Structure 1
Amino acid sequence: MRFLASFITALLVSTSALAVNVNVARQSLDAARPKPPKVCDRNAKGKDLAQKQYEALADYANLFVFKQDVQTSFDRYVPGEYKQHNPFAEQGREFAIEFLKNGFAGGIRTSHLTIFSGQGYGIMHYKAQFLSDNVTMAVVDYFRFKGTCIVEHWDVLQEITGTEPNPIAFF
């Protein structure tokens, strides 16, 4: 009986030490991983602003295009003012979030993402296949920044039919 009690005690001590070591290792990995900003900075300025805007657009594109996480992408990079130039959308951030969430709800496969930024503007160009409608589009989203925040949006969409005579059309 004493052996069993000693064995269980030793097992519990080694298991809790292992859990602590795993947690320490996980914290070390998390600390080493760069963290994107929780929210953009409307007042960002300086020589490195263009680089910060590019990094903001790259993170926004990853969240929006690949992860299809509309809420997080907007919470992080579209925190307030948002002018919308799409003729089928209303003005404002909240309408855009709901509109885009509904658009992704039908299932979208995205690929071919390219981003550009400079002089206070950013562009995302990508392929979007809308699974529920069986429609594929070439999409360009064009943004204006204030600091590292997105404050204005334009878009252009072209349907890809697969019958285009140009073999390198769109991409």
Structure 2
Amino acid sequence: MLLKKLSAVIACLSLRTSASPVHQPQSFCSPSYPASGWEIRDIFSQYVEQWVYQRDYSAAAAKYLSPNIIQHNPQIANGSAAMVAAVGPILANYDGPNFSLVVVDEEKGLAVTLNRYVGKPGTGLPIAGVTDFYRFDGTCIVEHWDVIESLPPNSTNPDPF
């Protein structure tokens, strides 16, 4: 009897934490729906996988970013198309990320990534530490900030990033 109950509880938990949801929407932003904390965490994990690691910017933007995302980087215009156009050419010259830390504050709908990129050989680009901050509205990423720090050639800190 106890074994049957335990099996039922484990089955329920595995359904809730399943990595492959039954239905994947084409976009989490058309329209955006209210989301629980674990849904925001799951959506953001999928976004980071597709945007940061697979570097599939166009598809990730279409699925996870508001077309009108507010951009706080002064060199990138608002909107997901502008973000894709700016990021792709820059990251084409970098290897990495070598490290990614992902933090999600589910209650406030905020998410952060911290990445370390290394310029590809021959580009002359330094190691760069990049922190991206995202704000969710329900299931949709609607706002982005970033902080980018390049390692200067005369760095006295052996472990800056």
Structure 2 distance, partners of 1:165, 1:109, is: 23
Question: Larger helix proportion, structure 1 or 2?
Answer: 1
Contact 1:39 1:79 in 2 (8 A): no
State the percentage of identical aligned residues: 21
SS at match of 1:126: strand
Q: Which residue of 2 aligns with 1:40?
A: 28
Once residues 112 and 37 of structure 1 are traced to their aligned partners in structure 2, the CA distance between those partners, rounded to angstroms, is: 29
Instruction: Report the aligned-residue RMSD.
Output: 2.2
Query: Is 1:97 aligned to 2:97, yes or no?
Result: no
Gap runs ≥5 in structure 2: 1-17
Q: How many residues align?
A: 136
Contact 2:67 / 2:81 at 8 angstroms: preserved in 1?
no
> Which amino acid in structure 2 is aligned with residue 124 of structure 1?
T
Q: 1:93 to 1:169 in 2, by over 3 A?
A: same
TM-score (norm 1): 0.70
Pair 1:128 & 2:114 matched: no
Counterpart CA distance in 2 for 1:155 and 1:147 is 21
Q: State the partner residue of 2:131.
A: 140
Mapping 1:64-103, distance limit 5 Å: 64-103=51-90
Q: Deviations over 1:100-159 (max 9, x none)?
A: 122233343212101111111110101112323432101000011011211100000111
Q: Per-residue deviation at 1:168?
A: 3.9
Match of 2:39 in 1: 52
Aligned to 1:14: none
Distance change in 2, residues 1:33/1:62 (3 Å) = closer
Structure (1 or 2) with the larger CA radius of gyration: 1
Q: What one-letter code is carried by the residue in structure 2 that aligns with 1:122?
A: A
Residue 51 of structure 2 contacts residue 57 of structure 2 at CA under 8 Å; is this kept in 1?
yes
Compared with structure 1, are the counterparts of its residues 153 and 166 closer, same or farther at alpha carbon in structure 2 (3 Å cutoff)?
same
Once the two structures are TM-superposed, the CA of residue 37 in structure 1 deviates from its matched residue by 4.1
Give the 3 Å change call, closer, same or farther, for CA 90–52 of structure 1 in structure 2: same
Contact 1:125 1:139 in 2 (8 A): yes
Q: CA separation in 2, counterparts of 1:112 and 1:92?
A: 27
What amino acid maps onto 1:87 in structure 2? P
Which ranges in structure 1 are unaligned for 5 or more consecutive residues?
1-31
